């Protein structure tokens, strides 16, 4: 596997549950962490999903697999080089219903595509990301690492109910 910065990285064996460096100081999270996040997010076929911090494009592809071709996935990544590589990987994977965009500096998420049924955030927030919560559809779920915890938010009309899941996690900061 080629690292987005051009260096070689060792492929992750299915038995190695560790994060993988993807360049620009970012990592692709360890598989058990991503599995825990996806279980809480509970993305279903046909849903519209936003993947914030698309990194390598791995979570974007996993979400595309979960929603299937009747759904759609919008990935956003702040590092333009990572976003371009992720976009290529998702395209090469055949997920025509998923796209990765370079995030607009100062804009959290991808408001143009809102509302979303599911929003996955793979970078650590230090305060409640209201800008993302407003992009959530009625009945939707937002999973965000917040101050070390996985916080699952569910929108019911104007109300957003938040609950922290068990466990402590580390991520690169949500900028
Ligand atoms: C843990 S990595 C994500 C790994 C990725 N989900 C994957 O499957 O490879 C977190 C990523 O979030 C990105 N990031 C941080 N703040 C962001 C923001 N406001 N919008 C979009 N991406 C952001 C970082 O550049 C980094 O690539």
pLDDT of 53-77, one tens digit each? Answer: 999 999 999 999 999 999 999 999 9
Assess whether pLDDT exceeds 60 at residue 5: no
The pTM of the full predicted model, rounded to 2 decimals, is: 0.93
Supply the residue whose CA is at minimum distance from atom 24 of ligand 1.
53
User: Domain range for residue 96?
Assistant: 28-164
In a domain, 23, yes or no: no
At 53, give phi and psi (nearest 5°): 90, 55
Residue by residue, DSSP assigns the chain as -B-TTS-B-PPPPTT----EEEETTEEEPPHHHHHHHHHHH---TT-EEEEES-TTSHHHHHHHHHH-TTSEEEEEESSHHHHHHHHHHHHHTT-TTEEEEEPPTT--S-GGG--EEEEEE-SBBSS--HHHHTTEEEEEEEEEEETTEEEEEEEETTEEEEEEPSS----PBP-
Specify the residue with its C-alpha closest to ligand 1, atom 14: 53
Rounded Cα–Cα distance for residues 2 and 15 (Å): 20
Please check whether residue 171 lies inside any domain of the structure.
no
Calculate how far, in angstroms, residue 170's C-alpha sits from the geometric centre of ligand 1.
13
Q: What is the mean pLDDT of residues 129-151?
A: 98
Q: What is the pLDDT of residue 11?
A: 58
The pLDDT value given to residue 157: 96
Task: Please give the positions annotated as active site.
Answer: 29
**Nearest atom within ligand 1 for CA of residue 51:** 6
122 found inside a domain? yes
Q: Answer yes or no: is 74 within a domain.
A: yes
Q: What pLDDT score was predicted for residue 105?
A: 92
User: Dihedral sign, CA of 102, 103, 106, 110?
Assistant: positive
Sheet (strand 72-77) strand order: 98-102, 72-77, 48-52, 116-121, 136-146, 149-156, 159-164
Structurally, how many domains does the chain consist of? 1
Cα(122) to centroid of ligand 1, in Å?
A: 6
Q: What is the token pair recorded at 48?
A: 């519209």
Residue 158 lies in a domain: yes
Res 12: pLDDT:
60
> Would 170 be classed as within a structural domain?
no
138 CA distance to ligand 1 middle (Å): 25
Of all protein residues, the one whose alpha carbon is nearest to atom 6 of ligand 1 is: 54
pLDDT exceeds cutoff 80 at 1: no
Q: Which residues, judged by CB distance below 6 Å to any ligand atom, belong to the binding site of ligand 1?
A: 22, 26-29, 52-56, 58-59, 76-79, 82, 103, 108, 122-123, 171-172, 174-175
CATH code, 76: 3.40.50.150
C-alpha count within 13 angstroms, C-beta hemisphere, residue 27: 16
Tell me which of 89, 122, 169 to substitute to probe ligand 1's pocket, judged by most ligand atoms within 8 Å of the beta carbon.
122
Among residues 171, 172, 165, the alpha carbon closest in space to that of 149 is found at 165
Q: Is 158 exposed, middle or buried (0-12, 13-18, 19+ CB in 10 A)?
A: exposed
At residue 14, the pLDDT reads 64
Residue 20: inside a domain? no
Q: Whose CA is nearest to atom 23 of ligand 1?
A: 53
Residue 100 counted as domain residue:
yes
């Amino acid at each position: 596997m080629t690292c987005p910065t051009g260096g070689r990285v060792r492929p992750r064996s299915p038995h190695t549950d560790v994060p993988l460096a993807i360049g620009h100081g970012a990592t692709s999270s360890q598989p058990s962490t991503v599995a825990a996040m996806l279980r809480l997010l509970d993305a279903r076929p046909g849903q519209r999903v936003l993947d914030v911090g698309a990194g390598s494009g791995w979570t974007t592809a996993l979400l595309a697999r979960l929603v299937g071709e009747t759904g759609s996935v919008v990935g956003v990544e702040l590092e333009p080089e990572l976003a371009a590589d992720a976009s290529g990987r998702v395209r090469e994977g055949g997920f025509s219903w998923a796209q990765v965009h370079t995030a607009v500096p100062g804009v959290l998420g991808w408001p143009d595509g809102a509302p979303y049924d599911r929003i996955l955030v793979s970078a650590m927030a230090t305060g409640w990301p209201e800008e993302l919560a407003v992009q959530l559809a009625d009945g939707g779920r937002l999973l965000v690492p917040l101050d070390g915890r996985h916080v699952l938010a569910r929108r019911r009309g104007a109300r957003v109910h938040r609950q922290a899941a068990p466990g402590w996690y580390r991520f690169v900061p949500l900028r």
